[in-house]
């Protein structure tokens, strides 16, 4: 087989880049693993280069052709899932319906789905991780959300359960290690 038959494609869905380095480390890790990386935006306030604008509506075929989907939620995901008021002047204008639709499509389609920091709790609240093991950024409220939604919390840097990879924190090393398994 030639190189292009092995080349995997990854799509990074970006809701919020406020958590320093979350997006850039994901891009770096995926590229280190030899993946072709595309970025899709679900927020009109995020300032990154992107390939797909999905801020207005969800198209059924957005995930077609991608082997790996990474969800970057930043602080928005934390505040959205906990229901707490987000501090600061600039609040991300995230299209929640599109974000949730893509999350549901990715997990249920069997695609490798990467959920860092608070996004595992978001997926759990949608019922997408029920009966699975997962980790999450270690705060009491996020761990409780996992447990209250039928997810077994595991205190590890990353947890792989089927097609879902959850990460407690984001580093290039952790992402490449988790994706290399």
Task: Tell me the pLDDT tens digit for each residue of 79-115.
Answer: 999 999 888 766 778 999 999 999 999 999 999 999 9
Q: Alpha carbon of 169 to those of 17, 19, 133, 154: distances in Å?
A: 14, 11, 16, 13
CA–CA gap between residue 163 and residue 98 (Å, rounded):
21
Burial degree of 174 (CB within 10 A; 0-12, 13-18, 19+): middle
Q: Which residues contact 144 (CB under 8 A, 6 or more apart)?
A: none
Task: Over range 141-170, report the average pLDDT.
Answer: 97
Among 73, 41, 34, CA closest to 58:
41
For residue 46, the model assigns a pLDDT of: 87
For residue 116, the model assigns a pLDDT of: 97
Percent of the chain with pLDDT over 70: 95
Task: Over range 47-59, report the average pLDDT.
Answer: 86
- Alpha-carbon radius of gyration of the chain: 15
CA–CA gap between residue 49 and residue 102 (Å, rounded):
20
pTM above 0.85, yes or no: yes
Is the pLDDT assigned to residue 66 strictly greater than 80?
yes
Is the pLDDT assigned to residue 5 strictly greater than 60?
no
């Amino acid at each position: 087989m030639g190189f292009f038959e092995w080349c995997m494609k990854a799509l990074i869905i970006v809701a919020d880049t406020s958590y320093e380095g979350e997006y850039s480390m994901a891009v770096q890790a995926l590229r280190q693993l030899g993946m072709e990386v595309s970025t899709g935006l679900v927020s009109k306030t995020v300032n990154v280069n992107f390939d797909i604008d999905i801020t207005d509506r969800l198209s059924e075929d957005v995930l077609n052709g991608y082997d790996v989907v990474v969800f970057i939620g930043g602080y928005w995901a934390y505040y959205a899932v906990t229901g707490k008021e987000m501090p600061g002047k600039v609040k991300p204008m995230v299209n929640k319906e599109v974000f949730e639709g893509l999350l549901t499509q990715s997990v249920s389609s069997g695609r490798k789905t990467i959920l860092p920091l608070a996004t595992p709790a978001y997926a759990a609240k949608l019922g997408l991780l029920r009966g699975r093991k997962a980790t999450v950024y270690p705060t009491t409220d996020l761990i409780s959300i996992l447990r209250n939604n039928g997810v077994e919390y595991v205190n590890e840097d990353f947890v792989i359960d089927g097609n879902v990879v959850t990460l407690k924190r984001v580093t290039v090393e952790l992402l490449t290690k988790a994706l290399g398994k």
